[in-house]
C-alpha cells in the first residue's frame, strides 16, 4: 500500500506538472535506487545460500513466479512484486491519466478492487486452500502449496497496491480540498481513523497460522479472500487522515509517525530488508551450535535481541557506502539534465 502511494504520488505529480511520464528517467532512478545493494546481497547469497543456480531469476525480478522450493533469497519475493508493479503501473497510469475523469477513475478502481477479490477467491477455491494456513516449513503439510498458489504471486497481491494508488490520486490532485473536508468533518475522520486502527488490529490478531484453531468454511474463505484488501484500505485511511487532519487521534498518530527517531530506521529499511536474514540466520546458527540445549524460543529471542541491532549496523554500512553514493549520482544526473534543458 505504501509503495502504491509513494510511486503513484511521484508519477502523478510528474504528470500533473508536465502532462507526461518520462519512463526512461523513472526506470533508471528505480534501478539506481534498488539494484546496487541488491547485487551486493545476491553476491553474499551465492556464498551462503542454496539454489544459487536460480540467482538469474532474482536479477530479472521474476523469482516469485518460480516454484517456492527453488527460490534463491526467498524473502525477496516481495521485491519482485514491487518491481513488477514498477514495470507495469506507469504504462497503465499514463493511459488512465490521459483519459482522466473522476467517474472513469472511480470505475477503474472499483473494477480492479473487486477483480482482486475475485481472483483470490478463484485461487483459493481451485487449490482448495483453507484456514489455518500452513505457515512454517516442515511443521505441517501444504506450506509450499500456499506459497506457490497465492502468497507470492502478483495477481494475488495487486489489490494491496490499489488503496495506495487511490490515496495518491487524491493527495496529488485534490490535496487542498482534502484538507478542508478533513478539518470540517474532523470528528468523522477521527472515528474512521479509530475504526481503521481496530481493523488493522483485527486482521493481525486472527490466528491464521495456528494449526489448532478452527475456522468454518464460509468465514475462513471470506477472511482469506479479503483480509489483505481490508488491511490496506484501513492503512490508506490512516495515511490520508494523518496527512490532512492534525487534530485528535489522527493528529496524535501523525506526530508519532513523524518522529525524528523513526527517520534513520526508514533510511535503513531497504538494506535491513535485504541483509537481516543473513545476520539473524548466522547468529541463530551460532547459538544453536554453542548452546544446543537451550529451548527454541530462547534461541529465537537471543537471535532477535542480538540480530536486530547488528542488522541495523550492517544496513547502515551498506547505506553509507553503497546506497547513498548511487542516490547521490541520481541527484547529480538530474542537475546535469536540468542544466542541459536550460541551456
- Report pLDDT for 94: 87
Strand ranges (DSSP E) for 198-297?
none
Structure confidence at residue 119 (pLDDT): 97
**Whole-angstrom Cα distance, residue 287 to residue 302?**
8
Q: Who's near 104: CB < 8 A, 6+ residues apart?
A: 96
Output the DSSP codes for 61-111. Answer: T-GGGS-GGG-SSGGGHHHHHHHHHHHHHHHHHHHHHHT--HHHHHHHHHH
80-136 per-position pLDDT tens digit = 999 999 999 998 888 888 876 767 777 888 899 999 999 999 999 999 999 998 877
Low-confidence ranges of the chain (pLDDT < 70): 100, 102, 331-343
pLDDT at position 100 is 67
DSSP for 133-161 reads P--STTTSTTHHHHIIIIIS-GGGTGGGT
Exposed e or buried b for every residue in 302-339, given b needs 16+ CB within 10 A?
A: bbeebbeebbbebbeebbeebbeeeeeebeeeeeeeee
- pLDDT for position 332: 65
Say which DSSP state 54 is in: G
Residue indicated by cell numbers 482469506: 224
Amino acid at each position: 500500500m505504501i509503495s502504491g502511494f509513494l510511486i503513484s504520488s511521484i508519477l502523478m505529480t510528474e504528470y500533473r506538472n508536465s502532462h507526461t511520464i518520462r519512463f526512461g528517467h523513472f526506470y533508471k532512478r528505480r534501478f539506481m535506487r534498488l539494484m546496487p545493494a541488491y547485487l551486493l546481497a545476491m553476491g553474499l547469497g551465492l556464498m551462503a545460500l542454496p539454489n544459487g543456480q536460480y540467482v538469474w531469476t532474482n536479477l530479472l525480478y521474476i523469482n516469485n513466479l518460480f516454484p517456492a522450493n527453488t527460490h534463491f533469497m526467498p524473502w525477496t519475493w516481495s521485491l519482485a512484486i514491487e518491481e513488477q508493479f514498477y514495470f507495469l503501473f506507469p504504462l497503465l497510469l499514463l493511459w488512465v491519466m490521459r483519459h482522466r475523469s473522476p467517474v472513469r477513475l472511480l470505475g477503474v478502481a472499483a473494477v480492479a478492487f473487486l477483480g482482486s477479490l475475485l481472483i483470490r477467491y478463484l485461487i483459493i477455491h481451485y487449490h482448495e486452500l483453507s484456514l489455518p494456513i500452513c505457515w512454517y516449513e516442515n511443521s505441517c503439510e501444504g506450506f509450499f502449496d500456499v506459497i506457490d498458489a497465492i502468497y507470492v504471486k502478483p495477481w494475488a497481491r495487486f489489490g494491496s497496491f490499489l488503496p495506495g494508488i487511490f490515496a495518491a490520486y487524491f493527495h496529488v490532485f485534490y490535496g487542498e480540498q482534502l484538507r478542508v473536508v478533513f478539518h470540517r468533518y474532523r470528528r468523522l475522520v477521527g472515528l474512521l481513523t479509530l475504526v481503521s486502527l481496530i481493523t488493522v488490529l483485527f486482521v493481525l490478531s486472527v490466528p491464521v497460522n495456528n494449526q489448532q484453531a478452527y475456522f468454518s468454511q464460509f468465514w475462513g474463505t471470506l477472511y482469506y479472500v479479503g483480509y489483505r484488501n481490508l488491511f490496506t484500505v484501513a492503512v490508506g485511511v490512516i495515511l490520508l487522515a494523518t496527512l490532512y487532519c492534525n487534530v485528535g487521534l489522527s493528529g496524535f498518530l501523525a506526530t508519532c509517525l513523524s518522529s525524528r527517531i523513526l527517520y534513520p530506521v526508514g533510511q535503513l529499511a531497504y538494506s535491513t530488508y535485504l541483509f537481516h536474514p543473513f545476520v539473524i540466520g548466522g547468529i541463530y546458527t551460532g547459538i544453536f551450535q554453542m548452546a544446543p540445549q537451550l529451548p527454541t524460543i530462547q534461541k529465537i529471542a537471543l537471535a532477535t535481541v542480538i540480530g536486530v541491532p547488528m542488522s541495523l549496523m550492517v544496513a547502515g554500512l551498506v547505506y553509507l557506502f553503497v546506497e547513498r553514493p548511487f542516490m547521490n549520482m541520481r541527484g547529480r544526473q538530474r542537475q546535469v539534465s536540468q542544466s542541459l534543458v536550460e541551456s
